[in-house]
Amino acid sequence: MSIKTVSRALNDAPHVSTDARERVRAAAAKLDYHPNIAAQSLIARRSYLIGLTYERPSPSYVVELQNGALARLEDSRFRLVVLPFRDVANRPTELGRLLVRAGLDGVVLAPPACDQDDLLEMLDRQKLPYARITPHREMARGIVATIDEVAAGHAIAAHLLSIGHRRIGIIMGDPSHAACAARMEGYRRAFAEAGAAIDDHLIVTGDFTYDVGYAVAADLLRRAPQPTAILAQNDDMAVAAMAAVRDRGMAVPADVSVAGFDDSEVSRTAWPQLTTVRQPVSELAWDATDRLIAALETERDGSSKYAASPAPRGDHAHELFVRSSTAPPR
């Protein structure tokens, strides 16, 4: 049996009888032979590596992101390389270089990297395909999986307004994430529809982390008139806000209601459980990875000239979860 026949058999290529294929399979298993991936990569000009980048998000966000991507990669020959970034905003080219040097076939960009023009520019130049998760600018660029964050922000704010809150404190996320503005825009629309106005005095800025969230929430609670509800732009800061409320001797939701954003795991392990709006991070990551791989496949199948048809934009639905951290003001 020639070496090519073996190669064909293991790669499900035609021109091999099922009998021969079986024998090859059996022999490979017995000798536990595995084709050398480096050699395959060399000839296929494919590393079979997909990168996943993110920057200092909450643990549950990272894990959901990874799980989504990994779920898609399971049973494929692609492997997932994690590449956390620090400070994408200030050194996009350095990080672009890192991505290119990692020898990836493609990369999934979570916020805020997905909105860094310089980075995208560099990836385009290097012909490194990318998929973007919940970007907020240049929505037509590359593969995009997203939710309508304006609508999601609207949903959560509308909930607080509908149960009677008007003095609502807002904890913004890291301003370098374009998502912040989108969520805020959703809040604004909900206020407008309710015939209310946002009190700029009750807006503070965090960075999506618990610690900073706690500090700015405590600051917020010292202001007069005190808000009857707090709207945080992610769950970690919302949980921090609950702690700040209680540390001032008040109760959630009796004295102050708190709502978050993301429906991350912490929203369910918090007590009381957090009212929040779900961002289907796992599905988004799955979808982004799926379309990225699809793009790689068609690219390889030669028809690269007209395969660059605009990928359908992946819109996913948000979902409001009203739990125990919100109640009407007294």
Partner DNA sequence: GCAACGACGGTAAACGTTGTCATAAGCAGG
Partner DNA sequence: CCTGCTTATGACAACGTTTACCGTCGTTGC
Of 2-10, 85-93, 97-105, 139-147: span binding DNA (CB under 7 A): 2-10
C-beta of 55: minimal distance to DNA in Å?
Answer: 30
Where do contacts with a second copy occur on this chain (CB under 8 A)? 32, 34, 36-39, 41-42, 45, 47, 49, 59-60, 62-63, 66-67, 70, 79-84, 97, 100-103, 126, 210, 236, 239-240, 242-243, 246, 265-266, 268-271
Task: State the binding partner of 192 from a second copy, DNA, none, CB within 5 to 8 A by kind.
Answer: none
User: Minimal distance in Å, beta carbon 61 to a second copy?
Assistant: 9
Instruction: Report CA-CA distances (Å) from 107 to 96, 102, 123, 129.
Output: 11, 10, 9, 7
Q: Rounded to the nearest whole angstrom, what is the least distance from the CB of residue 145 to a second copy in the complex?
A: 20
The residues in 34-73 that bind DNA, with binding defined as CB under 7 A, are: 34-36, 39-40, 42-45
Q: Is 303 in the site for DNA (CB under 7 A)?
A: no
Q: Which of 152, 155, 153, 169 is nearest to 257 (CA)?
A: 169
Taking the C-alpha atoms of residue 29 and residue 257, their distance in angstroms, rounded to an integer, is 60
Find the DSSP H helices in the chain.
Answer: 3-10, 18-30, 37-44, 59-73, 92-101, 117-125, 149-162, 179-193, 210-221, 235-247, 265-269, 281-300
Reference 277, options 316, 231, 233, 321; nearest CA is: 321
- Does 13 bind DNA (CB under 7 A)? Our answer is yes
Give the span between the Cα atoms of 113 and 206, in whole angstroms: 19
11 binds DNA (CB under 7 A): yes
Nearer to DNA, 2 or 309 (CB): 2
Q: Can you read off the two tokens belonging to residue 323? A: 């739990």
Choose from a second copy, DNA, none: what does 304 bind? Cβ within 5-8 Å by kind.
Answer: none
> Residue 79: which H helix or E strand, with range?
strand 79-85
CB-wise, 89 or 243, nearer to a second copy?
243
Q: Which is nearer to DNA, 1 or 308 (CB)?
A: 1
Q: Indicate the length of the chain as a whole number.
A: 330
Beta carbon of residue 34, minimum distance to DNA (angstroms, whole number)? 7
**Binding of residue 3 to DNA (CB under 7 A):** yes
Sign of the dihedral through C-alpha 53, 59, 62, 63: positive
Whichever of 36 and 90 has its CB closer to a second copy, that residue is: 36
The region of 14-22, 46-54, 76-84, 231-239 touching DNA under the rule CB under 7 A is 14-22
Burial class (CB in 10 A: 0-12, 13-18, 19+), 181: middle
Q: Which listed option, a second copy, DNA, none, makes contact with residue 67 (CB within 5 to 8 Å by class)?
A: a second copy
Could you tell which of a second copy, DNA, none binds residue 205, using a CB distance below 5 to 8 A set by kind?
none
Q: Compute the CA torsion angle 199, 202, 205, 208 (nearest 10 deg).
A: -110
In this structure, are strands 49-55 and 79-85 parallel, antiparallel, or unpaired?
parallel
Question: Based on CB atoms, which residue is closest to DNA, 40 or 226?
Answer: 40
Q: Which does 2 bind (CB under 5 to 8 A by kind): a second copy, DNA, none?
A: DNA
- CA atoms of 147 and 80, how far apart (whole Å): 24
Of 290, 260, 297, 256, nearest in space to 275 by CA = 260
Least distance in angstroms from the C-beta of 52 to DNA = 25
Three-state secondary-structure class, residue 210: helix
Would you count residue 25 as binding DNA (CB under 7 A)? no
Residues that bind DNA (CB under 7 A): 1-7, 10-11, 13-17, 19-20, 33-36, 39-40, 42-45
